[in-house]
Structure 1
Amino acid sequence: MSAPQPAVMERRSSRRVRFADFFELTKPGITTMVLITTLVGYYMASRNGLRPLLLLHTILGTALVAGGASGLNQYFERDLDARMHRTRNRPLPAGRLFPNEALFFSMIISVVGVADLMFFVNVLTGVLGLMTLAAYIFVYTPLKTRTALCTLIGAFPGATPPVMGWTAAGGDIDAVALSLFAILFLWQMPHFFAIAWMCTEDYARGGFSVHVSGQSTGRQIIFFCCALIPISVLPTMLGLTGMLYLLGAILLGFVYLGYGFAVALFRSHAHAYRLLWVSILYLPALLALMMLDKV
């Protein structure tokens, strides 16, 4: 058997690179976190087994919507991303993908994702997916260059995935679903403030309205961390989880708050970095406790 010709190998390599660029366009890290929170909502609402086919469509549809939203966001922000150190090597600003092909790809997977949720999961979950997509692209994305409130506004679509998981499994949008939404909403704020603190110069270079002032931002971090503690125990108060989750949520909440206080007190890049990592660890730990101690 003869070895592949150089031209054939080059084409194969080129296809792999392009696939990797389209995959990167979907922000797989963020999409994975979206899927985790969706699966938690699905699991917590499931009372008669997980129903594998329904779960598969929930995962597939949500992944496509999340990936499409990320791709559309990068399409609209490609010129701004080119100015920033942390984003200039993304596929669009780096020139590895053409804008039109990125737009087409992102639109297609978004439409397919919403349709999958609508027809193979249920209408409510599909509508939530469509609303989340629209809010992220047509509200949050343009506001990022217009107002510092964009972080607060962006937390709304960011908190929807567990509710989508909840409704996918047959749950209503009730107090429990709203408690899951509130937990995700409040968790995001210190997380994003930590990122903004670390990247404030880069955001300014890109033209984004992210204003970090030591005293004001520190107070906001403390406020949202404090608010998260009582909200995080609502699943137990509402009969969804037991005492293990309750105690764990309180402990995790005070750890998160402690690192938030450190940022407010010392106002340093190093403390913001530590808060960022604590926020990344906090959420999966809380969700794991929730699933483990489901009543």
Structure 2
Amino acid sequence: MNSKVAIAASELTLPRGGVTEYFELTKARVVLMVLVTTLAGFYLGGRSGFDPMLALNLMLGTALCAGGTLALNQFVERDTDALMERTRHRPLPEGRMRPAEALAFGSIATAAGFIYLLLTTNLLCALVTAAITVVYLGAYTPLKRFTWMCNVVGAIPGALPPVAGWAAARGNVAAEPLVLFGIMFLWQLPHTFAVARMYRADYARAGIHLLPRDSAHGGNPSNAVVIGASLALIAVGMMPTLLGFAGLPYLVIGTALSVGMLVFGYMMVAHPDRPQAARRLLLASLIYLPVVLLVLVLDRV
């Protein structure tokens, strides 16, 4: 029985998913990253101290929207997920949940999150969060089947959470959240291409185009994106200090980590036949973001 037949049969015969299956749909680790980056933007946007109730409302609404959006993503990609080793054990490919359940859960959670943010924060925060869902599901997700440039499009919703957090705190958008957007946008490109190289065969088997084909003259077109984004990250990463909303400790630590990303990015593109090079870049990227955000928050001027 192929994956499509199995999924179709599950719609009619399998029992409803349990709490564990619904939790898996939300991709909790991704939601946690969204919450952390949203909270960083909120904290930096606070003019008169930290408002714990507003922060709690922001976190609840954001968690609902993010979890719902990721559940809808799993609903849309259930066929390709069944073809990849890294995703075939998710609730829908394994038949532990019916597609209709995932669709209903994702739709309700996303709508509830948007309404909650609209009622408890402000219109701008709700609209930015809604834009994340629209671009992620309406542009990035379908483009994955056609072009590796989906990574650039996907970096947009991935970089918007701190903007939503700032909007919740201030009710506007200023230079500071745009700098945070730039840092997160540029950070994602080396990160995602490292993942694409690590799971290249898996993605190819499912027809997911996260990595372009190697050129006839050698090398890969994504190499220029990795190096260019890493160089730009060094420059944009300095902006919080240059604009006066972070101090010298952030500048030193942030620049050092950005240079580290560049070094590991170069090693990956220079040695495409070494899987450990992509893993090292991925590890460097996973260290970069939480440390940079933490130092930025602690070193806020």
Determine if the TM-score, normalized by the shorter chain, exceeds 0.5. yes
In the alignment, the residues of structure 2 paired with residue 208 and residue 279 of structure 1 have an alpha-carbon distance, to the nearest angstrom, of 22
Question: 2:280 aligned with 1:286, yes or no?
Answer: no
Match of 1:274 in 2: 280
* Cα offset, 1:171, TM superposition: 5.1
In the alignment, the residues of structure 1 paired with residue 172 and residue 252 of structure 2 have an alpha-carbon distance, to the nearest angstrom, of 27
1:239 to 220, 232, 244: 244
The amino acid across from 1:144 in the alignment is: K
Q: Tell me how many residue pairs correspond in the alignment.
A: 281
Question: 2:75 aligned with 1:75, yes or no?
Answer: yes
How does 1:96-107 map onto structure 2 within 5 Å? 96-107=96-107
Contact 1:45 1:171 in 2 (8 A): no
Q: Deviations over 1:25-83 (max 9, x none)?
A: 00001100011100100111112121111101100111111111100010000001000
Bigger shift: residues 186-195 or 211-220: 211-220
Contact 1:38 1:164 in 2 (8 A): yes
In the alignment, the residues of structure 2 paired with residue 93 and residue 126 of structure 1 have an alpha-carbon distance, to the nearest angstrom, of 32
How does 1:27-42 map onto structure 2 within 5 Å? 27-42=27-42
SS for the counterpart of 1:87 is coil
Contact 2:83 2:205 in 1 (8 A): yes
In the alignment, the residues of structure 2 paired with residue 266 and residue 132 of structure 1 have an alpha-carbon distance, to the nearest angstrom, of 35
SS for the counterpart of 1:147 is coil
* Cα offset, 1:217, TM superposition: 2.5
Match of 2:66 in 1: 66
Match of 1:10 in 2: none
Match of 1:178 in 2: 178
In the alignment, the residues of structure 2 paired with residue 174 and residue 56 of structure 1 have an alpha-carbon distance, to the nearest angstrom, of 23
SS for the counterpart of 1:151 is helix
Per the normalisation by structure 2, the TM-score is 0.91
The amino acid across from 2:287 in the alignment is: L
Match of 1:258 in 2: 263
* Cα offset, 1:206, TM superposition: 1.0
The percent identity for this pair of structures is: 44
In the alignment, the residues of structure 1 paired with residue 189 and residue 250 of structure 2 have an alpha-carbon distance, to the nearest angstrom, of 22
Question: 2:244 aligned with 1:223, yes or no?
Answer: no
Q: Deviations over 1:239-262 (max 9, x none)?
A: 111111111111111111111111
SS for the counterpart of 1:145 is coil
Runs of 4+ in structure 1 over 4 Å off: none
Match of 2:4 in 1: none
Question: 2:129 aligned with 1:129, yes or no?
Answer: yes
Contact 2:124 2:171 in 1 (8 A): no
Runs (5+) with no aligned partner, structure 1: 1-13
Match of 1:8 in 2: none
Alignment RMSD:
1.4
Match of 2:9 in 1: none
SS for the counterpart of 2:221 is helix
In the alignment, the residues of structure 2 paired with residue 224 and residue 135 of structure 1 have an alpha-carbon distance, to the nearest angstrom, of 21
Per the normalisation by structure 1, the TM-score is 0.92
